[in-house]
Structure 1
Amino acid sequence: MSTKKIYLIGFSVGATVSWLCSEEDCLDGVVAYYGSRIRNYQQIVPQCPTVLFFPEEEPSFHVNQLISNLAQKNIEIHKFKGQHGFSDPYSSKFNNESSQNAFKEMLSFLKKHH
């Protein structure tokens, strides 16, 4: 069985791991939802198309500052209403509108880089 494209999609810690893996040239794309620890790895320069989804509110860092720092890396970054976990229907932080909007953006990203 051969695989044509490899994309990593990660949430929270998985988003940070996906971000770390974006430096590898074997990936075709990375989608990272609210990877708050990405702030500790801002030196990463993705070698594949990458999209990051952040909430408006994060208690552990300033979202706008991180977005500003990462914006120079030629990656897509989106910010949505809500808090960490806005796309997790089992979280108390779930935000249906933001979840649907992020999902649409993810599909658009995947189609664009297919």
Structure 2
Amino acid sequence: MNLVLITDIFGITSGLLEISKQLNAQIIDPYAGVEMHFNDEASAYAYFSENIGLDCYLEILSAKFESLNSATIAIGFSIGASVLWRYAAADTDGKLQRGYCFYGSQIRNYLQLVPNFPLQLILPKFEQHFSVAQLADDLAECKNLTIVKTGSLHGFMNRCSVNYDRQACQKQLQQLQAKYC
């Protein structure tokens, strides 16, 4: 079984490399494997928005998944979760077996999509630009979707985020390790 991590706007970081080692997972990122070393989230967001964008990242993800030849579990973080959500609705080839979307805030703009494989949406307790409770309500009846509400903030799995929560991150990693490692 393959595990694949789909990065957020920071791309590959030392923290994500640690997670990939713990889970024995491959990494898909928007920057072709180049570590960007952004100073902060605003810089990462500006660079991603100006140079990559959601649609291009979805194309990168789709191309990577086309080459899969074994059962795969995908784990997306933030924008990575949002592109995984979009891919999940388009995947009719069964490339993925299951997915986990950690705090994919752009999912709110694609509520009409329905994943074609089991997906778990891990929500933060709060988002600045929309109601997390409303998003959960809007998706409550969505086929193939399980919603988990956490007590942490957007970015709690990323050491580069001001919202990094070591305990919450370790808890999620332990749950994933118990299932797949």
TM-score range, shorter chain: 0.7 to 0.9
TM-score, with normalisation over the residues of structure 1? 0.84
Q: Which of 88, 92, 97 lines up with 2:162 in the alignment?
A: 92
Deviation at 1:31, TM superposition (A): 1.2
Return 5+ residue gaps in structure 1 as ranges.
none
Deviation at 1:20, TM superposition (A): 0.3
Q: Which moved more, 1:36-45 or 1:75-84?
A: 75-84
Deviation at 1:101, TM superposition (A): 2.8
Question: Which residue pairs with 2:74 in the alignment?
Answer: 8
Matches within 5 A, 1:69-84: 69-74=138-143, 75-84=145-154
Amino acid at match of 1:7: I
Amino acid at match of 1:83: L
Question: Which residue pairs with 1:64 in the alignment?
Answer: 133
Radius of gyration: which is bigger?
A: 2
Amino acid at match of 1:8: A
Aligned residues between the structures: 109
**Structure (1/2) with the larger strand percentage:** 1
Q: What is the distance in 2 between the residues matched to 1:97 and 1:86?
A: 9
- The 3 A distance-change label for structure 1 pair 61 and 99 is same
Residue 30 (structure 1) aligned with residue 126 (structure 2): no
Return 5+ residue gaps in structure 2 as ranges.
1-67
Q: Which moved more, 1:21-30 or 1:10-19?
A: 21-30
- The 3 A distance-change label for structure 1 pair 85 and 76 is same
* RMSD (CA atoms): 1.8
